[in-house]
Structure 1
């Protein structure tokens, strides 16, 4: 029968392509459908185009970084962990390395290298790829999947893998198609939030600091019920807010809170973890070396000039006179603000700036040992379409590859 396959994969991201390759290597007749005119559009943008494939953490630590649902990944990582991923790419001609000992990149630091290698491997193992094919509906008999309808064709298969990704970067084809397909056969989809993105702040002083990056910033939510929410990493001030690795990570926690509250107050330690007493002691030592320094000069020994100036203003400090001549209340405020700088998050740019989606198809309705739907036999999910997301640093891409590999084994 024409248009009949063992497996149809919907979506050509990391999860979809490795699922298709895995099944084809096992002798299955595979069709991959992509609604855009070319494959791997979102993968191309990953890591700013450098493609941070994975990281070097052991599986236990890796899963822990995903939160309470991280253990859902145990079977997938047992089948295909970061060692297996590195070996897989080496086998298909892509060498990788970890320049910082943690994040793993292709040695070319180019996502195009990864996409071309996956494309070539799909051709080699006989995966049929059809672009400009948007899947509109899943075909099934109530118990098992039988195929898919696109906008102009029908394709038949006993197995279908939904690897459509999330809602982030809609200009690259992310429109939530997979959630619609999942719900059409009775799956639950959790509330969806944009994640891994810049945040906007109420405070306008940040615009004066946007030339500077602050390393190793500690950040936590300043709300009684949510004080355990925290992150650490490099921070970049922007015209109207904050970005940088620590913000990308923390936005996963902040965007759901913004749905509940109009504002989310944060406290940030910009001095590499120093507390008020340690800052006082640091200033004392600096003054012993150079007694003629004014207050701004002292603050600049720990922070960039633009940030130093803004913190002095916030504390009511006269920046060009000695610290000893400042009012006591102003001095105390300065030490307090240097140890914990307040900042209020008020918004974000939505899914158009989100690298990933928080939320997705309920994990309770997916078998972690096969990635098969518990609702419909022969239907599988992998990658970002599921309700599981991690921080930046190769976590989400590794999960896409691991879950895609396991789904492609068609173990259900």
Structure 2
């Protein structure tokens, strides 16, 4: 018997595509490809010029992809083309201390050999990941990529979603998805508010070349002002994400490359030998921002438009790809059942699936940052004791490894490596 809550698609309604996606970043591209793999037509709207997006120049940006995210990329046919430029993350070492004094005696060590599935994750440069997405989009008959183009207005009602572009064109679809970042225009125009917290930290991001091989080991060094993540790239290179006070970050960004390395050295240490800057440097303020709701009438939010968290656990893009997997599955399954893919019922399934996970991650990253980004002797003693306890208990340690690999919770099919 048919579901009594099912909203039937009106065959007489004219649409430019099944789905409109605003925002052509990594989440928006991944979502467009996922929808297309499930037989849906997509219009992807991006305000960046295509020439800029296609640049092959290494600018220092890279992403830590959890094992589950790698499986999603494999399920939509992208991983084989990325594998040669992906650095497996074989170990994670977490330490506490002060720059120039070395790490505290208590630390955590996670080794991929403790789980059966393989490496916990992979480091992939932005240029390689973006190029793979753009090539897949260009070759898909189901995806229309509009760039550079900007949405200036939107409307949604019981029968359709529509956007007006700066060029004057109006597009209509069954569903509108905002993948347009922490200052989402889609969310703002829908009247969706946000809860935010400023961490009073700024991240300094750069690629560092080093004399010795990293062995596929990622490091997270917690210091009073904020953590320093050292993430292995292909070759003798690592990506760093260094959280500092805004004033100190501004000072670091103004230094020339040699002076920057001298400033970095006390925190980085000498375990990888001589260092040099291997790409551009970026800074961005760190904050927590959570949309008050993930959906509205014929509308869903994905990635940073829905939730922006501290990079302390490197889970920002991975959580966005969980959104991608969940929304793609909910919508494609609804289409196969003959439901209206933008109906309130279908949107409620997505919101219910993702709300708990996103809220939990926000709370966890907020708590970790509060516990570790300080020099309080009581908190220092407590966190060092906690790290030594985790390190001493294999079962608990494996749980953390599986969490870092993205293998826990109710995973969408794509993140299990299955096609839609």
TM-score of the aligned structures, taking structure 2 as reference length: 0.48
Higher strand share: 2
Larger radius of gyration, structure 1 or 2? 1
